[in-house]
């Protein structure tokens, strides 16, 4: 049975860690050979086009003499005007699809990477940095609304919902890895979720957290990731939460045309989307209307591996960040990277939505930029010198 999803992109996400946790010793087997992502023109009738694709594939199969077989269309995507699919085709079929009147792009699969690095530091500091103009203050100053009545959708590896950090406010809504129950077997999603809304580590301590699992072990595909994104968008719209929700995607910021189109459609439907900036050597290519975040250390100096391109919206704490982990209800781990910085800013989004009743992505992003501390980031490169701040007045 085909899966209906929210954007067309198929590519592998491999998790790149300096130190691999015991929970990640297994690897989810994936093969992107002859895998493609096809983006369709708005208004294209997907069933009719898919029938055409199946006919093409059948014709190519009759002519083959090498015995290879191809799975055809594996995922379909439809978010507002964004339509497309992912599939397994021979090269000749892919070339024919590029010539089709209803096709705007045919892209090969590629690698997509989670962007955190496990470290050994045990000193949390990020909440102080985002609530004080001066660094090295001992406390976290925040409004008592604390993100109440909001929802953060964490499109990642799932959430350890039994962890004490979440106080019953976390649930796993959907697992895009087929045939698996939703749970966090890796830890990355739990870490990010607690930065968004954990009772100790979190920015918005009253928000509701919903895990959307797209990783199993260290890898996934863009097709799976887009399935998860589509579910999050549909759930937010179905429950009328657009003005009170954020989607966080803490993966390497090297998107392609299809996934960027999907993110744009989510934002167009009124949903704020926070994403990680890229790693040095792979600068971010997220769409400009997303909130793109890069990490600094405790002194507000940019991480040495951070993307410093003009696509970065904000800087936030992201080096040696302690947060919740898997394995028990009290486990914690220290990590570094754009994922952690994005988690803090996603928390700020729902924090400000609760406090200021921000109605849409544009006003939310503008509030973040207006509140941001200016010219405090060391070595920002070409990125804007704006550091995330909650407006506490401290």
52 flagged as catalytic: no
Q: Which residues of 308-320 are buried (b: 16+ CB within 10 A; e: fewer)?
A: bbebbbbbbbbbb
Active-site residue identified among 276, 302, 339, 367: 339
Q: Which pairs count as long-range contacts for 237-242, CB under 8 Å and 24+ apart, including other chains?
A: 237/269, 237/271, 241/151, 242/269, 242/270, 242/271, 242/360
User: Of 132, 163, 188, 191, which is the active-site residue?
Assistant: 188
Q: Is 357 exposed, middle or buried (0-12, 13-18, 19+ CB in 10 A)?
A: exposed
Q: Is 188 a catalytic residue?
A: yes
CA dist., res. 145 & res. 207, Å (int)? 10
Which run of H or E residues covers position 188? helix 188-197
The number of beta carbons lying within 10 Å of the beta carbon of residue 55 is: 10
56-58-64-68 Cα dihedral, nearest 10 degrees: 110
Residue 86: strand pairing partners? 37, 75
Number of neighbours of residue 57 by Cβ within 10 angstroms: 21
Please give the helix or strand (H or E) that residue 156 lies within, else none: strand 151-156
Q: Is 147 helix (H, G, I), strand (E, B) or coil?
A: coil
Active-site residue identified among 90, 109, 156, 320: 156
Integer Cα distance of 266 and 243 in angstroms: 12
288 in active site:
no
CA geometry: angle 368, 300, 336, nearest 5 deg = 90
Contact call for residues 204 and 147 (beta carbons, < 8 A): yes
- The CA-based diameter of the chain, rounded to the nearest angstrom, is 72
The rounded distance, in Å, linking the Cα atoms of 5 and 156 is 16
The answer to whether 300 touches 376, Cβ cutoff 8 Å, is: yes
Tokens standing for 160? 């350890």
Q: List 37's β-bridge partners, or say none.
A: 86, 107
CA–centroid distance for 165 within its chain: 21
SS3 370: helix
Picking from 202, 387, 368, the residue whose alpha carbon sits closest to that of residue 301 is: 387
Which residues are designated catalytic? 156, 188, 339
């Amino acid at each position: 049975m085909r899966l209906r999803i929210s954007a067309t992109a198929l590519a592998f996400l491999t998790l790149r860690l300096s130190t691999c946790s015991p929970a990640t010793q297994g690897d989810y087997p994936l093969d992107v050979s002859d895998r493609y992502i096809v983006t369709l023109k708005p208004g294209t009738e997907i069933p009719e086009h898919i029938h055409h694709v199946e006919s093409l594939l059948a014709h190519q199969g009759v002519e083959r003499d090498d015995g290879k077989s191809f799975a055809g269309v594996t995922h379909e995507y439809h978010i507002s005007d964004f339509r497309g699919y992912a599939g397994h085709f021979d090269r000749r079929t892919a070339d024919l699809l590029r010539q089709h009147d209803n096709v705007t792009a045919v892209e090969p699969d590629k690698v997509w990477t989670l962007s955190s690095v496990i470290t050994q530091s045990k000193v949390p500091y990020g909440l102080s940095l985002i609530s004080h103009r001066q660094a090295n203050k001992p406390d976290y100053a925040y409004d008592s609304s604390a993100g109440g009545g909001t929802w953060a959708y964490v499109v990642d590896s799932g959430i350890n919902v039994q962890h004490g950090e979440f106080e019953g406010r976390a649930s796993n809504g959907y697992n895009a890895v087929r045939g698996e129950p939703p749970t966090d077997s890796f830890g990355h999603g739990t870490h990010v979720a607690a930065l968004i809304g954990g009772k100790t580590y979190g920015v918005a301590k009253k928000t509701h957290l919903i895990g959307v699992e797209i990783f199993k072990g260290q890898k996934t595909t863009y097709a799976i990731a887009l399935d998860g994104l589509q579910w999050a968008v549909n759930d937010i719209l179905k429950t009328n939460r657009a003005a009170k929700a954020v989607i966080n995607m803490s993966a390497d910021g090297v998107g392609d045309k299809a996934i960027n189109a999907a993110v744009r459609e989510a934002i167009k439907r009124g949903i704020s989307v926070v994403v990680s900036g890229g790693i040095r050597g792979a600068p971010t290519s997220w769409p400009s209307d997303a909130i793109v975040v890069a990490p600094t250390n405790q002194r507000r100096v940019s991480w040495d591996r951070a993307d410093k391109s003009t696509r970065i919206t904000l800087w936030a704490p992201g080096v040696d960040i302690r947060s919740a982990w898997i394995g028990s209800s009290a486990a914690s781990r220290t990590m570094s990277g754009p994922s952690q910085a994005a988690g803090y800013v996603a928390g700020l989004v729902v924090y400000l939505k609760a406090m200021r009743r921000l109605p849409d992505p544009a006003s939310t992003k503008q509030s973040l930029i207006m509140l941001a501390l200016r010219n405090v980031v060391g070595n920002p490169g070409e990125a804007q010198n704006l550091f995330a701040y909650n407006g506490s007045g401290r």
